[in-house]
Amino acid sequence: MKRIGFKVLLAIILCSITTSTILCVVSIKRASHVMNTEVEQMLSYASEKYSSQLSIYFKNTESIVDSLAANVSVTFDPSEHSTDKRYFGEYKAYLDGIIRETLQYSDIAYGLYFTFSPDLTKPTQEEVWYAFDEEGTPQPVLPDLSINARDFSEPVADNMLYYFQPILAGKAIWTDPYVDSDVNLEMLSYSRAVYVDGILIGVAGADILTDDTIDIVRTMKLYPGGSSFLFDDEKELIISSSDKTEELYIENEQRIQKHSGSKDSGVFHYTDATGEFILAYSELSNGWMIGITQPTKEVFSTTRNLVIVLSLMALMCIILTVIFAVYFSRRLSRPLMNVSDQLKLLESGVYTQAIPTEFLNRKDDIGEFHNAILAIQSEMKKEADQNREKDILLIYQSKQAKIGEMVGNISHQWKQPLNAINLILLNLYEDYQCDELTDEEFKQTIDKLMRIVRNMSETIKDFTDFLKPNREATEFDLKESISLALNLMEASLKYHSIIIEVNIEEGVKILGYQNEFSHVLFNILGNARDAIVESGTDQKLIQIKGWLWEGSVVLEIINRGSPIPKENLKSLFEPYFTTKSDKDGTGIGLYISKVIIEQRMNGQIELENIYGGVCCRILVKAIEER
C-alpha cells in the first residue's frame, strides 16, 4: 500500500506538472493567436471604417457636382445662346442661384463652381463660384480675371488641372492637392465636363480643403508611432499623417500592391530599417487607397504581458498542486495504509499488532475502521484463548483457514472501492490543476469518498456478521440500493467510458439486508465492467432492469461483454473459482453473492449467456402492498 500511495502521489504530481505545462503552452499559443487575430481584425476594421468615412466625405462632394453638371446639361440651350445675346447673362444669373443654394446644404465642400468654356464666352472668361466664408455662409468668389486670368492654353498650368483633366480623361476627376491663387488655399477639386449636343459648355466642380482631409487622416493612428496615408488612383501620395519621407510611403504602397492583388482591403506584416510593422489598407469608393501602419511592438504589447501572466499562473498552479497533492495524499493515504497493513497481518494470522491510538480515537469512518479491526483482533484472540487447551494444531489450522477465508473475502470486497478511491482522487486533481474544481464539486467528491469509506467499514461489519449473523431483515427500496452501488462505482465506470441504463419500476420494495444486497450489486456490476473492458467491445453498455413479478422482484443486470464459455457456467458460483488471473480475482465474489441472495434472503441468482452479452438475473421476495 505504501508503494501504491507513493506511486499515486508521484503520478499525480507528474501528471499535474505535465498537464499544467501543456495547458500553459497551449493557452499561450491559443491566446496569442486569438489576440493577434483580434488585432489584425481591429486594424482591418479601422481601415475600412476610415475608408467608408472618407468615401462618404468624397461621395458627398461628388454628388453635388454630378447634380450641378446634370442641371446644366438639361437647362443650357446652345442654340438659344447663339441667337440671343441676353440669354447667357440670364442663364448665368440662374446658375448663380442654383450653385449658392446647392452649396448651402453641403457640410463638406468648401466651394462649388462652374467654369464656362471660353469658346462660348469669347472674348471674356466667365465663371460662377461660391465658397463658405468664416461664418459658414456661401458667398460668391469674384476673382480679378484681369490680374489672375484663366490660362486655357497648353501646356496646362497646375491651377487649370481642375478644368482640363476631366475633359482629357472623358470622366469626372479628383485632382491632387494644389494652391488656388484666387483664395490662397490648398485644396482638392472634383470636376466634371458638361456637354450639350456635343458642345462643351464648361466644367462643374467642387473644392474641399486639404487641411480638413489631413485632419481626418491624422486621426487614423491607433498606437504611438503609427501613421496613416492616402494614395490616389495613380498611386501618387496625396496626404500623410507624419513627417516620414515620401519614399517610405511609396514603399508601403508597393507592399500593398504586392499583397492585395485584386482585394480591396487587407492586413499584412512587414519589416523595414526602422522596425517591424503591421499595415492595414482599404480602397475608397473613388479608387483611392488609405493605409494605416502601426508598430508591432506597440500593437502586441498586451500579448507579451499575457504570456508573462499565464506563465506565472501556470507556475503557481504547479506549486499549489504539488503542495495539495502531498497534503491530501498524506491525509487520506496514511490511515488507509495502516488499515491495509493491519489486514495483511490478520490475513497472515498475526492479530496482536497494536493499532495507533490516534486512529482509534478518531470520530469518523477511519476511526470505525480501526475499531472494527480491533474488534476482530479481540475476537480472534478470545477464540484462540478458549481453544488453546484443545488439540492446538488441529484447531489452529482450522481457525487459520476460517480467518484466511474471511480476510480473503474482505480483501476481495475492498479491491473495487480502493480502485474507485484512486480514480476519484485522480479526477479531483485533474479538475483542480485545470482550475475547474469548484467548492461544490470538492464537497461532493469528499462526500463520495466518505460514502465509499463507510461502505468499506460496513464490509468489515458484514463479514463479522457472517461469523455471528444476528441482524434482522429490513424493508428497503431497490432503486436506492442500485443508486448506492452505482455511486460507489461511478469513477471506475467513468474511467472506462461505460454507459449505464437503469429502468426500475417505481416503489419496488425488498425485505432483506440492504447493505449485503448492495455488496451483491457491487460484485455483479464489477464483473460486468471487467467483462466489457476485457472483451474490447465498442458497445460499452450495462443495462439494469427491475420489475415486480408474481410477488417477487426480478432484477436483471446485462453487460455487452464476451459470452461465458459453456464449460464454466456451472462452476461460476463455486468458491475460489475464477476465470481471471490470481492478481485480478480470487473467485469469492460470486460465491458470497450466492450465499447472500439464496441463504440470507431466500432468493435465486443465476448467470446466462444472451444474444450480445451476459445476463445476471436475481429473484428475491417483494414487500406486499399494504
* H or E element that contains 376: helix 365-386
Q: How confident is the model at residue 204 (pLDDT cuts 50, 70, 90)?
A: very high
Q: Assess whether pLDDT exceeds 90 at residue 556.
A: yes
Q: Would residue 109 be called left, alpha or beta, if left means φ above 0 and alpha means ψ between -120 and 50 degrees?
A: beta
Cα angle 31-34-37, degrees, rounded to a multiple of 5:
145
Cα angle 221-227-229, degrees, rounded to a multiple of 5:
110
Q: Which is more confident, 563 or 522?
A: 563
Name residue 193's beta-bridge partners.
Answer: 203
Whole-angstrom Cα distance, residue 65 to residue 113?
9
Cα 123 to Cα 117, 119, 197, 245, 366, distances in angstroms: 11, 9, 23, 46, 118
| pLDDT, position 372 | 75
* H or E element that contains 475: strand 474-477
Which residues have a Cβ under 8 Å from the Cβ of 592 and sit 6 or more positions away? Answer: 409, 412, 413, 519, 520, 523
| pLDDT, position 358 | 63
At 145, list the grid cell: 480675371
Q: Assess whether pLDDT exceeds 60 at residue 188.
A: yes
Q: Which of 373, 399, 374, 375 is nearest to 386 (CA)?
A: 399
| pLDDT, position 409 | 46
Cα 258 to Cα 235, 333, 576, distances in angstroms: 13, 67, 81
Cα 282 to Cα 222, 244, 363, 377, 395, distances in angstroms: 16, 20, 75, 87, 99
Cα 491 to Cα 395, 398, 423, 508, distances in angstroms: 43, 39, 6, 27
| pLDDT, position 440 | 85
Contact assessment for residue 519 and residue 581, using Cβ atoms and an 8 Å cutoff? no
- Percent with pLDDT over 70 in the chain: 71
Contact assessment for residue 129 and residue 102, using Cβ atoms and an 8 Å cutoff? no
Q: How confident is the model at residue 546 (pLDDT cuts 50, 70, 90)?
A: very high
Cα angle 452-457-459, degrees, rounded to a multiple of 5:
95
Mean pLDDT of 108-135: 85
Mean pLDDT of 457-464: 60
Q: How confident is the model at residue 470 (pLDDT cuts 50, 70, 90)?
A: very low
| pLDDT, position 604 | 92
Q: Assess whether pLDDT exceeds 50 at residue 539.
A: yes
| pLDDT, position 395 | 30
Q: Convert the pLDDT of each residue in 271-280 to its tens digit.
A: 777 778 787 7
Cα 581 to Cα 142, 578, 584, 585, distances in angstroms: 111, 8, 5, 6
Q: Assess whether pLDDT exceeds 90 at residue 491.
A: no
Residue 514: other Cβ atoms inside 10 A:
17
Query: What are the helix (H) ranges across 1-130?
Result: 2-75, 78-83, 85-104, 118-121
Whole-angstrom Cα distance, residue 50 to residue 288?
12
| pLDDT, position 398 | 33
Cα 207 to Cα 121, 213, 238, 289, distances in angstroms: 23, 12, 15, 20
DSSP state letter for 416: H
Mean pLDDT of the chain: 76
| pLDDT, position 468 | 44
Q: Which of 613, 529, 603, 609 is nearest to 572 (CA)?
A: 609
Q: Assess whether pLDDT exceeds 60 at residue 465.
A: no
Whole-angstrom Cα distance, residue 391 to residue 398?
11
| pLDDT, position 406 | 45
Mean pLDDT of 537-552: 89
Whole-angstrom Cα distance, residue 302 to residue 304?
5
Q: How confident is the model at residue 220 (pLDDT cuts 50, 70, 90)?
A: low
Contact assessment for residue 558 and residue 610, using Cβ atoms and an 8 Å cutoff? yes
At 84, list the grid cell: 440671343
Mean pLDDT of 432-442: 82
Question: What is the residue type of 552?
Answer: S
Mean pLDDT of 121-131: 83
| pLDDT, position 114 | 92
Q: Convert the pLDDT of each residue in 572-599 to its tens digit.
A: 888 777 776 655 556 677 888 888 888 8
Q: Which is more confident, 328 or 496?
A: 496
- Percent with pLDDT over 90 in the chain: 9
Q: How confident is the model at residue 547 (pLDDT cuts 50, 70, 90)?
A: very high
DSSP state letter for 96: H
Contact assessment for residue 585 and residue 568, using Cβ atoms and an 8 Å cutoff? no
Q: Assess whether pLDDT exceeds 50 at residue 542.
A: yes
| pLDDT, position 543 | 92
Q: Assess whether pLDDT exceeds 50 at residue 255.
A: yes
pTM of the model: 0.43
Q: Assess whether pLDDT exceeds 70 at residue 462.
A: no
Whole-angstrom Cα distance, residue 622 to residue 617?
15
Question: What is the residue type of 100?
Answer: R
Q: Assess whether pLDDT exceeds 90 at residue 195.
A: yes
Contact assessment for residue 370 and residue 338, using Cβ atoms and an 8 Å cutoff? yes
| pLDDT, position 399 | 37
Show the domains of the chain with their CATH numbers: 36-299 (3.30.450.20), 322-468 (no CATH), 471-626 (3.30.565.10)
DSSP state letter for 300: T
Q: Convert the pLDDT of each residue in 71-110 to its tens digit.
A: 999 999 988 888 888 898 889 899 999 998 888 878 788 8
Mean pLDDT of 173-195: 84
At 81, list the grid cell: 445662346
At 251, list the grid cell: 514603399
Pair type for strands 499-504 and 541-549: parallel
Whole-angstrom Cα distance, residue 573 to residue 607?
9
Q: Convert the pLDDT of each residue in 398-418 to its tens digit.
A: 334 334 544 544 565 577 778
Q: Which of 433, 451, 546, 547 is nearest to 490 (CA)?
A: 451
Q: Convert the pLDDT of each residue in 342-364 to its tens digit.
A: 666 666 666 566 766 666 667 66
Which residues have a Cβ under 8 Å from the Cβ of 207 and sit 6 or more positions away? Answer: 109, 110, 111, 112, 113, 131, 180, 187, 188, 189
DSSP codes joined into one string, 194-214: EEETTEEEEEEEEEEEHHHHH
Whole-angstrom Cα distance, residue 202 to residue 117?
4
Q: Convert the pLDDT of each residue in 50-78 to its tens digit.
A: 778 778 878 888 888 998 899 999 999 98
Q: How confident is the model at residue 503 (pLDDT cuts 50, 70, 90)?
A: very high
Q: Assess whether pLDDT exceeds 70 at residue 447.
A: yes
For the chain, how far is it from start to end, CA to CA, in angstroms?
Answer: 51
Contact assessment for residue 478 and residue 557, using Cβ atoms and an 8 Å cutoff? no
